[in-house]
Amino acid sequence: MKTNIRICCIWTLFLFLLNFPPQYTNAQTTNAPNVIIINVDDLGYGDLGIYGATEIKTPNIDALAAKGVRFTNGHATSATCTPSRYALITGEYPWRQGAKILPGDAALIISTDKTTVPALFQQAGYATGIVGKWHLGLGETIEKNWNQPISPGPNDVGFDYSFIFPATADRVPTVFMENGMVLGLEENDPITVNYQQPVGNDPTGAANPDLLKMPASPNHGHNNTIVNGIGRIGYMSGGHKARWTDEEVPLTFLMKAKEFIETNQKKPFFLYYALTEPHVPRMPSTVFKGKSKLGYRGDAILQIDWAVGEVMKQLKALGIEDKTMIIFTSDNGPVLDDGYVDYAVEKNGTHRPAGPLRGGKYSAFEGGTRVPLIISWPGTIKPTVSDALVCQVDFLASFSELIDQRIPNNQAKDSENLLSAFLGQSQKGRDVLIKQGGAMTVTKGNWKYISPQAGAAVAKLTNIETGNSTEEQLYNLREDLGEQKNVAEKYPDKVMEMKSALSDF
Ligand code: NG6
Ligand code: CA
């Protein structure tokens, strides 16, 4: 009888564990922190005081770094936005999916059954939200009705709440969307978007350059529908009252981010706060115009710093500073002229947006993908500078340990659990990292390999060194962080070793 009871108990326990695997603990019952990822757009490795900038002051972000881990060897996977953000959210190298810069009418490129960073937090019982730039597509197809709720979108890949703009500040539709619906839409002025041909009667930058408050740089395009005196990429008609004013975008995103934090202060929350600055068109809020010596690009960076400070102040005021991890990073390297005459080049002076690195946005050199990365969690993370090789693609696997959630097989394939490195407890990062500018690159230890790639060595439009060369390139980053001396011929074995790391792709 006793044996029967014992067998019965063990069997019940077995069935219970099968249904409720122990790895799914609820974050509300653990000490896992709130997590805020602040991902800014096109901010370079040299654009912050704490990373060496002297021509621009970023006291709030510097203070964040002083309290946390500052990475000198932190990376985005890619030198442009869509692929870089895809990797951050899915833990997967974006070239597996063919992710490229998306037009504003693109379909969602994240399949809704994927494990994502927000989905992982959601599963752990967190409230999850995104505020800011999305740029990963919306809906199932290009053809979509912008006047109805659009799905799938951020709310279908793990975010409980979304307040976004669809693509980039320079692409239509220039509207905010809350939980899939365009904000401020009027029934009698429906929105149409087209990236192939003009729609509606709004003036375009090409036909009416006299109407522009900030002209487009020659040959960049940016001369389709004019919104707020700025020519955009793509055509849009309707939704006139729904269109944002550029100067209000950063303030709106900050307000919504703070609202999300305020609303969810008592639960564990995950917030992905994706600021649009200093991406073009740079049109900082009026109070920031002229604040820096560097023109609107510098002003936009001051505005980022201010917004980060506002979030830090809010967390302190709510008494949740010690319960909140803030990750500050950028989606890709810097660019000065990315399509508008905003005098970023002329006013740059001696400032070095990429710091000591070569290249910038779009580039296979380090300037394209090595980005500022700061992680603070007061009381838990000790102030440190870390040289560990880490990448945004690793957030997912690292969070899975932090919040005790299992990643299903075949998901987040390229994400490595580097939690100890992210918490500043270990200087051990990845062994190998693959990235993409135009060319594919491999980083292993001190070495960086850039695979041969046809195309201009200096991009005509942006004047950025691309890293393209028909020759193989090998650099020793410890001795030559600026990638000036190609030593591929001298170390053929090393080249072979690096190439083999690429062979999977
Ligand atoms: C480029 C745009 C550039 C910017 C970029 C996307 C041209 C000539 N240039 O195609 O202005 O919008 O796309 O930037 O169209 S990103 O940071 O979102 O990747
Ligand atoms: Ca970007």
Pocket-testing residue among 279, 331, 337, 460, ligand 1, by greatest number of atoms within 8 A of Cβ: 279
- Domain membership of residue 7 (yes or no) is no
- pLDDT recorded at residue 7: 52
Asked if residue 454 and residue 416 are part of one domain, the reply reads: no
Can you give the residue range of the structural domain that contains 483?
A: 438-503
Q: Ligand 1, atom 3: nearest CA belongs to which residue?
A: 338
Question: How many separate domains does the chain show?
Answer: 2
- Domain membership of residue 1 (yes or no) is no
pLDDT for 387-432, tens place per residue?
A: 999 999 999 999 999 999 999 999 999 999 999 999 999 999 999 9
Ion ligand 2: residues, CB < 5 A: 41-42, 81, 331-332
Length of the chain: 505
Structure tokens at 34: 């709130």
- Domain membership of residue 63 (yes or no) is yes
Distances (CA, A) of 363 to 417, 452, 465: 27, 13, 6
Asked if residue 235 and residue 208 are part of one domain, the reply reads: yes
Give the CATH number of the domain where residue 453 resides: 3.30.1120.10
Asked if residue 319 and residue 453 are part of one domain, the reply reads: no
Say yes or no to pLDDT of 1 above 70: no
Give the CATH number of the domain where residue 340 resides: 3.40.720.10
Residue 24 — pLDDT band, cuts 50, 70, 90? very low
- pLDDT recorded at residue 23: 41
* Cα-based angle 168, 79, 198 (whole degrees, multiple of 5): 35
Distances (CA, A) of 292 to 299, 372, 376: 5, 20, 27
pLDDT for 342-356, tens place per residue?
A: 999 999 999 999 999
Residue 17 — pLDDT band, cuts 50, 70, 90? very low
pLDDT for 198-240, tens place per residue?
A: 999 999 999 999 999 999 999 999 999 999 999 999 999 999 9
224 alpha carbon, closest ligand? 1
Residue 319 alpha carbon to ligand 2 centre in Å = 33
N-to-C CA span, the chain: 61
Whole-number percent of the chain with pLDDT over 90:
93
Closest approach atom of ligand 1 to CA 171: 12
Asked if residue 464 and residue 390 are part of one domain, the reply reads: no
Pocket-testing residue among 43, 102, 134, 233, ligand 1, by greatest number of atoms within 8 A of Cβ: 233
Cβ of residue 195 lying under 6 Å from some atom of ligand 1: no
- Domain membership of residue 19 (yes or no) is no
Asked if residue 472 and residue 366 are part of one domain, the reply reads: no
- Domain membership of residue 4 (yes or no) is no
Residue 400 alpha carbon to ligand 1 centre in Å = 32
- pLDDT recorded at residue 13: 47
Pocket-testing residue among 39, 80, 329, 337, ligand 1, by greatest number of atoms within 8 A of Cβ: 80
pLDDT for 295-321, tens place per residue?
A: 999 999 999 999 999 999 999 999 999
Q: For residue 480, which amino acid is it?
A: D
- pLDDT recorded at residue 29: 47
- pLDDT recorded at residue 481: 98
- Domain membership of residue 41 (yes or no) is yes
- Domain membership of residue 52 (yes or no) is yes
Residue predicted with more confidence, 27 or 259: 259
Asked if residue 491 and residue 406 are part of one domain, the reply reads: no
Q: Ligand 1, atom 17: nearest CA belongs to which residue?
A: 81
Asked if residue 476 and residue 390 are part of one domain, the reply reads: no
Q: For residue 312, which amino acid is it?
A: M
Asked if residue 240 and residue 328 are part of one domain, the reply reads: yes
Residue 42 alpha carbon to ligand 2 centre in Å = 4
Residue 31 — pLDDT band, cuts 50, 70, 90? confident
Pocket-testing residue among 88, 172, 331, 338, ligand 1, by greatest number of atoms within 8 A of Cβ: 338
Residue 338 alpha carbon to ligand 1 centre in Å = 7
Asked if residue 445 and residue 408 are part of one domain, the reply reads: no
Among 429, 454, 479, identify where a domain stops. 429
Closest approach atom of ligand 1 to CA 332: 17
Residue 81 alpha carbon to ligand 2 centre in Å = 4
Among 374, 400, 429, identify where a domain stops. 429
Confidence (pTM):
0.94
DSSP structural state of residue 411 = S
Q: Ligand 1, atom 7: nearest CA belongs to which residue?
A: 220
Among 404, 429, 454, identify where a domain stops. 429
Asked if residue 383 and residue 300 are part of one domain, the reply reads: yes
Q: Ligand 1, atom 8: nearest CA belongs to which residue?
A: 220
Cβ of residue 41 lying under 6 Å from some atom of ligand 1: yes
Long-range contacts at 205-210 (CB < 8 A, ≥ 24 apart): 205/231, 205/232, 206/231
- pLDDT recorded at residue 503: 87
pLDDT for 183-203, tens place per residue?
A: 999 999 999 999 999 999 999
Whole-number percent of the chain with pLDDT over 70:
94
Asked if residue 467 and residue 422 are part of one domain, the reply reads: no
- Domain membership of residue 406 (yes or no) is yes
DSSP structural state of residue 430 = -
Cβ of residue 80 lying under 6 Å from some atom of ligand 1: yes
Average pLDDT over residues 28-33: 72
Asked if residue 210 and residue 179 are part of one domain, the reply reads: yes
Distance, in Å, from the CA atom of 371 to the CA atom of 428, rounded to the nearest integer, reads 18
Residue 16 — pLDDT band, cuts 50, 70, 90? very low
- pLDDT recorded at residue 25: 44
